[in-house]
């Protein structure tokens, strides 16, 4: 905690809970609980969230677990204290948090949503007494949040509340309250990223500034929250331009949270042109580019080249996409009617761009001798040097030539259909011509149709 604000994501580097499983005391010194219990402690995050990555927080690796039993018939309420604060509130102070209420059994009253963060002030008042409302206009009280029906169970929901109603007071405790009118019930969920900070209201001057294009991307095949991509595009433009978290996909190009890495960070594998009408329809044609600060020649492999970032460092607008990766590189996209302008800002001397596309047509794996022939001697690729064939392609299609580590070393136009090649592998052109006929002495990829990717 410092004087200018408060933040905890319940990570090892954040302020720890001041109190674990501890009921708040009222002004008269009695525990603020009636007919319900509540435990509040740090944990690993939800086990089976609908679209988020499981067993991590919304950010970071940890979150606050809340869980309790409502034993009374009719109303029950309980308030736990979480953090000790000493925080003056101004007209611009904002409280925010993310909350994931878990469904309990098949209880469609969703008692887990009747939960809200509250603040106790030094004058003995509570935020929940002051008529504060969340960003949707619903009361920021536990009862008001549940009755709003606006908290989606099993999803991370953000709640923002401007604290101007409490300006001039000093927050001394952060609290969590459950308040449900119709017990008995069981309830539980997760809380993360409690933030109290001065945030002057933003005043958008143009309609596009109201739009966040990543909205709708926290989707899976099983649960759509929009199934969108964060496209930058001009109205009726010829192409979309989008960041891509799975550069091997032609459907779900960008996943907001679920495919985060071990540190719960998202990563981009490309910035791409797209015509995607829907993830169920799939894209057609692709063009991908990604900056790299790898010294010498960067790896083209998706898992090696991808760059992590935080959504907080991502501005996703219809007219401008900008992300600052954790390695300091900044990538930006501004769309035009038939193309886009991309700008990359590198922190140091090593500055590369990796170009790629989603290639489902074919990959030929080369033995080391063939890699040397193609890369070092710029020779044509012959059947004898190919050890494996992957994918679907016809003669004339582009294919990737990869080494036995899986790295693409060249790309070229293949002279055979995929179905023809397996019978030819490892055999000399002379042998093939003798046994299969004159047409089979041709190269797999002619040197004139090759682009070497590795110098
Ligand atoms: Ca966290």
Domain-terminating residue out of 309, 325, 356:
356
> Residue 346: which pLDDT band, with cuts at 50, 70 and 90?
very high
The closest alpha carbon to 324, from 334, 338, 314, 316, belongs to 314
Q: What is the mean pLDDT of the chain?
A: 93
β-pair type (386-390, 363-366):
antiparallel
Same structural domain, 218 and 94: no
Beta bridge partners of 81: 175
Same structural domain, 346 and 419: no
Q: Which helix (H) or strand (E) holds 434?
A: helix 429-436
Region 395-416: mean pLDDT is 87
Q: Where is average pLDDT lowest: 42-51, 125-134, 206-215, 356-365?
A: 356-365
Residue 8 CA to ligand 1 centre (angstroms):
7
Residue 343 CA to ligand 1 centre (angstroms):
32
Q: Where is average pLDDT lowest: 23-32, 139-148, 165-174, 419-428?
A: 419-428
Q: Where is average pLDDT lowest: 79-83, 250-254, 257-261?
A: 250-254
What's the angle, vertex CA 413, arms to CA 411 and CA 416, rounded to 5? 125
Residue 279, domain extent: 207-356
Q: What is the Cα–Cα distance from 102 to 89, expressed in whole angstroms?
A: 32
Same structural domain, 345 and 429: no
Provide the percentage of residues in the chain whose pLDDT is more than 90.
74
The pLDDT score that the predictor gives to residue 394 is 74
Residue 193 CA to ligand 1 centre (angstroms):
6
- Whether the per-residue pLDDT at 238 is higher than 70: the answer is yes
Residue 58 CA to ligand 1 centre (angstroms):
6
Q: What is the Cα–Cα distance from 206 to 286, expressed in whole angstroms?
A: 31
Region 72-78: mean pLDDT is 97
Residue 108 CA to ligand 1 centre (angstroms):
28
Same structural domain, 191 and 223: no
Q: Where is average pLDDT lowest: 81-90, 260-269, 327-336, 437-446?
A: 437-446
Q: What is the Cα–Cα distance from 90 to 210, expressed in whole angstroms?
A: 25
Same structural domain, 258 and 347: yes
365-389 tens-digit pLDDT? 999 999 999 999 999 999 999 999 9
Residue 60 CA to ligand 1 centre (angstroms):
4
Q: What is the Cα–Cα distance from 146 to 123, expressed in whole angstroms?
A: 28
> Residue 360: which pLDDT band, with cuts at 50, 70 and 90?
low
Q: Where is average pLDDT lowest: 43-47, 159-163, 365-369, 408-412?
A: 408-412
> Residue 51: which pLDDT band, with cuts at 50, 70 and 90?
very high
Same structural domain, 232 and 287: yes
- Whether the per-residue pLDDT at 359 is higher than 70: the answer is no
The pLDDT score that the predictor gives to residue 3 is 47
Residue 194 CA to ligand 1 centre (angstroms):
9
Domain-terminating residue out of 356, 381, 415:
356
Q: Where is average pLDDT lowest: 258-272, 332-346, 405-419?
A: 405-419
> Residue 433: which pLDDT band, with cuts at 50, 70 and 90?
confident
Region 256-267: mean pLDDT is 96
- Whether the per-residue pLDDT at 22 is higher than 70: the answer is yes
Same structural domain, 189 and 212: no
Residue 299 CA to ligand 1 centre (angstroms):
32
Same structural domain, 127 and 267: no
Residue 101 CA to ligand 1 centre (angstroms):
15
Residue 47 CA to ligand 1 centre (angstroms):
14
The pLDDT score that the predictor gives to residue 428 is 84
- Whether the per-residue pLDDT at 4 is higher than 90: the answer is no
Residue 368 sits in a domain of what CATH number?
2.30.130.10
Domain-terminating residue out of 299, 323, 356:
356
Contacts by residues 86-89 (CB-CB < 8 Å, ≥ 24 positions apart): 86/1, 86/3, 86/170, 86/171, 86/172, 87/1, 87/3, 87/5, 87/6, 87/170, 87/171, 87/172, 87/196, 88/169, 88/170, 88/171, 89/121, 89/163, 89/166, 89/167, 89/168, 89/169, 89/170, 89/171
Same structural domain, 17 and 162: yes
Residue 428 CA to ligand 1 centre (angstroms):
59
The total of structural domains in the chain comes to: 3
Residue 21 sits in a domain of what CATH number?
2.60.120.260
Region 278-299: mean pLDDT is 87
- Whether the per-residue pLDDT at 307 is higher than 80: the answer is yes
- Whether the per-residue pLDDT at 220 is higher than 90: the answer is no
Same structural domain, 89 and 40: yes
- Which of the pair, 262 or 283, is modelled with greater confidence? 262
Region 403-422: mean pLDDT is 88
Structure tokens at 154: 């099993």
Residue 98 CA to ligand 1 centre (angstroms):
10
Beta bridge partners of 158: 98
Same structural domain, 238 and 332: yes
122-164 tens-digit pLDDT? 999 999 999 999 999 999 999 999 999 999 999 999 999 999 9
Residue 217 CA to ligand 1 centre (angstroms):
20
- Whether the per-residue pLDDT at 361 is higher than 70: the answer is no
Residue 435 CA to ligand 1 centre (angstroms):
66
- Which of the pair, 441 or 389, is modelled with greater confidence? 389
- Whether the per-residue pLDDT at 280 is higher than 90: the answer is no
Specify whether the CB–CB gap between 387 and 404 falls below 8 A: yes
> Residue 2: which pLDDT band, with cuts at 50, 70 and 90?
very low
Residue 53 CA to ligand 1 centre (angstroms):
12
The pLDDT score that the predictor gives to residue 1 is 38
- Cα 127 to the chain's mean position, in Å? 32
First-residue to last-residue Cα distance in the chain: 53
- Whether the per-residue pLDDT at 289 is higher than 50: the answer is yes
Same structural domain, 24 and 166: yes
Torsion sign, CA atoms 202, 208, 210, 214: negative
Residue 313 sits in a domain of what CATH number?
2.70.98.10
Residue 62 CA to ligand 1 centre (angstroms):
4
């Amino acid at each position: 905690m410092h004087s200018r604000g408060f933040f905890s994501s319940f990570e090892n580097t954040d302020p720890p809970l001041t109190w674990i499983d501890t009921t708040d005391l009222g002004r008269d010194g009695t525990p603020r609980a009636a007919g319900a219990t509540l435990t509040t402690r740090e944990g690993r995050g939800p086990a089976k969230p609908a679209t988020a990555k499981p067993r991590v927080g919304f950010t970071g690796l940890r979150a606050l677990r809340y869980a309790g039993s409502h034993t009374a018939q009719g109303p029950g309420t309980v308030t736990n204290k979480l953090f000790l604060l000493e925080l003056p509130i101004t007209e611009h102070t904002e409280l925010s948090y993310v909350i994931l209420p878990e469904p309990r059994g098949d209880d469609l009253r969703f008692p887990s949503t009747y939960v809200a963060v509250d603040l106790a002030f030094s004058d003995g008042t509570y935020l929940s007494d002051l008529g504060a409302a969340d960003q949707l206009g619903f009361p920021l009280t536990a009862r008001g949040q549940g009755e709003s029906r606006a908290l989606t169970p099993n999803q991370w929901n953000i709640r923002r509340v401007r604290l101007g109603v409490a300006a001039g007071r000093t927050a001394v405790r952060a609290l969590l309250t459950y308040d449900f009118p119709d017990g008995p019930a069981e309830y539980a969920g997760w809380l993360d990223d409690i933030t109290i900070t001065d945030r002057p209201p933003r005043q958008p001057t143009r309609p596009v500034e109201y739009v966040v294009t990543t909205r709708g991307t926290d989707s899976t095949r099983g649960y759509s929250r929009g199934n969108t991509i964060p496209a930058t595009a001009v109205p009726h433009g010829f192409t979309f331009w989008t960041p891509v978290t799975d550069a091997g996909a032609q459907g779900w190009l960008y996943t907001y949270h679920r495919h985060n890495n071990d540190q719960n960070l998202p990563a981009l594998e490309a910035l791409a042109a797209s015509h995607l009408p829907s993830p169920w329809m799939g894209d057609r044609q692709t063009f991908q580019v990604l900056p790299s600060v790898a010294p010498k020649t960067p790896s083209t492999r998706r898992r090696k080249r991808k760059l992590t970032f935080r959504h907080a460092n991502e501005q996703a607008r219809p007219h401008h996409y900008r992300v600052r990766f954790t390695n300091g590189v900044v990538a930006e996209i501004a769309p035009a009617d038939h193309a886009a302008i991309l700008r990359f800002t590198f922190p140091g001397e090593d500055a590369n761009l990796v170009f790629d596309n989603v290639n489902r047509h074919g990959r030929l794996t080369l033995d080391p001798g063939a890699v040397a022939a193609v890369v070092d001697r710029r020779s044509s690729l012959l059947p004898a040097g190919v050890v494996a064939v992957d994918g679907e392609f016809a003669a004339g299609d582009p294919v990737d030539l990869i080494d036995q580590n899986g790295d693409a070393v060249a790309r070229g136009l293949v002279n055979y259909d995929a179905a023809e090649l397996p019978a030819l592998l490892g055999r000399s052109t002379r042998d093939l011509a003798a046994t299969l006929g004159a047409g089979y002495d041709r190269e797999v990829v002619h040197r004139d149709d090759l682009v070497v990717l590795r110098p």
